[in-house]
Amino acid sequence: MADSPDPTASATAPAPAPQDRPVYVIGGGPGGLAAAYALRARGVRAVVLEKSDRVGASWRGHYDRLHLHTTRRLSGLPGLPMPRAFGRWVSRDNVVRYLEKYAEHHELEIVTGVEVSRVERSADGGGWLLHATGGRELAGSAVVVATGYNHTPRLPEWPGREAYRGELLHAGEYRNPAPYVGRDVLVVGVGNTGAEIAVDLVEGGAARVRLSVRTAPHIVRRSTAGWAAQFTGIACRRLPVGLVDRMARPLARISVPDLSAQGLPRPATGLYSRVTEGAIPVQDVGLVDAVRKGRVEIVSAVDGFEDGKVALANGDRVDPDAVIAATGYRRALEDVVGHLGVLDGRGRPVVHGARTPKDAPGLYFTGFTNPISGMFRELALDAEKIAKAVARDADRRLPSRLPR
């Protein structure tokens, strides 16, 4: 990895000519690295700006037992497949190793310790101006925002939580079950993270594990007779929502037992309908068996805290030793690009991939969707599309190009 002279230039240095401006990629995770490589492969200079001191920062912070829910073969980024030695379901540590190797193998131009606080149109209208740490003002011909789907932990403002006597933490702070051996733990949220942490706690020796559920999720097997759920997700990606909903119902009844008696009924809403609303199915990595055997107890949603206890929506009060909130993340894009009118009401980019917002040409987003076909796969596809669009625009403006 090589440092770029641009991010270390002083704020008073003369602005580079349009043809000398690189494409800045904000974020050194899988989406940013893939975009940088795809741009470089098309002869476009790309500089990755990463706020931490290493690439793959968000992956380094995930819990220990995490594995990709997508297959190794369909999770490689452009230009470098994941090693077969990683196995079919790649571990968190191997994902980090892969990202490090990816940056090194492709000799990507990465500058660490630089956080972008605001992006705006350049004064000459020919590109973008990035405001970054240390008073830096960086002029780019285009910008790819790849700061990640899981950027800023979202901890609900539950009433009374400041009086809770136990330990309260977001799932982003959870690493492994060692601190919870012999303890009573409540996990809030039944997405993939909450489901997997609940199983991890049970297997790791927690005395009691309860899982707070507001809306019953769709649960799918990660793999059935060798057929990965990802394959089905890819096949269904562009089918009508109603058709996929109808197809999914009988498959769910065959592959996943009815857990209604344990407090986890089958959802009333169709699987793909829920996906379009942003709710990804839970891939079973032990939750079904744990719930069936009573090792993970399903309880009602959390309404708040009263008298130091957790108040549930059904009126119950529970008093766990610890509460782990698997309550999701915010994209946290408002300060960076919110003023440009490129976000929807939920703070998500209005476009992604090769498309740019109507009033912000040259501004691209990747990694802000959570597709059933696999995040890494979609990041790889987006990277190629973005690079193609940027190169096409660059050819029209005749900038300097790297040798192919």
For 187-226, write each residue's pLDDT tens digit: 999 999 999 999 999 999 999 999 999 999 999 999 988 8
Residue 238's pLDDT is 86
**Which residues are 49's β-sheet partners?**
26, 111
- Region 303-314: mean pLDDT is 95
Fold of 6-151+331-397: FAD/NAD(P)-binding domain (3.50.50)
Predicted confidence at residue 319, as pLDDT, reads: 96
pLDDT at 398: 56
- The token pair that represents 368 in the structure block: 């802000």
Query: 288 — phi, psi (to 5°)?
Result: -60, -50
Buried b (16+ CB within 10 A) or exposed e, 253-275: eeebeebeebebeebeebbbbbb
Let me know if the fold of 6-151+331-397 is the same as that of 155-325: yes
* Residue 402: pLDDT band with limits 50, 70, 90: low
Q: How confident is the model at residue 276 (pLDDT cuts 50, 70, 90)?
A: confident
**pLDDT in the model for residue 2:** 46
What's the whole-number mean pLDDT along residues 283-302? 97
User: What number is the average pLDDT over the span 150-164?
Assistant: 91
Q: What is the pLDDT of residues 112-124, one digit of tens each?
A: 999 999 999 999 8
Minimal CA–CA distance to 102: which of 41, 45, 168? 41
Pairing, β 309-312 against β 317-318? antiparallel
Average pLDDT over residues 330-344: 94
Judge whether residue 16 has pLDDT over 80: no
Region label for 308, one of left (φ > 0), alpha (ψ between -120 and 50) or beta (otherwise): left
CA neighbor of 112 nearest in space, from 28, 44, 11, 25: 28
18: Cβ–Cβ under 8 A, 6 or more apart, which residues?
A: 124, 126, 127, 141, 397, 399
Q: Write out the DSSP string of 19-38.
A: GGPPEEEE--SHHHHHHHHH
**Cα-Cα-Cα-Cα dihedral sign, residues 230, 234, 235, 237:** positive
> What are the structural domain ranges in the chain?
6-151+331-397, 155-325
Average pLDDT, the chain: 91
Looking at residue 210, what is its pLDDT? Answer: 98
| Bridge partners for 139 per DSSP | 129
Pick the CATH number of 155-325 from 3.30.70.860, 3.40.50.300, 3.40.630.30, 3.50.50.60: 3.50.50.60
Lowest mean pLDDT among 66-80, 267-281, 323-337, 388-402: 388-402
Task: Tell whether the model's pLDDT for residue 21 goes beyond 60.
Answer: yes
* H or E element in which residue 100 lies: helix 92-105
Distances (CA, A) of 11 to 21, 48, 130, 131, 366: 15, 19, 11, 9, 28
Number of C-beta neighbours around residue 228 at 10 A:
21
Give residue 125's identity as a one-letter amino acid code.
G
Nearest Cα to 342, choosing from 354, 350, 334? 350
pLDDT on residue 17:
53
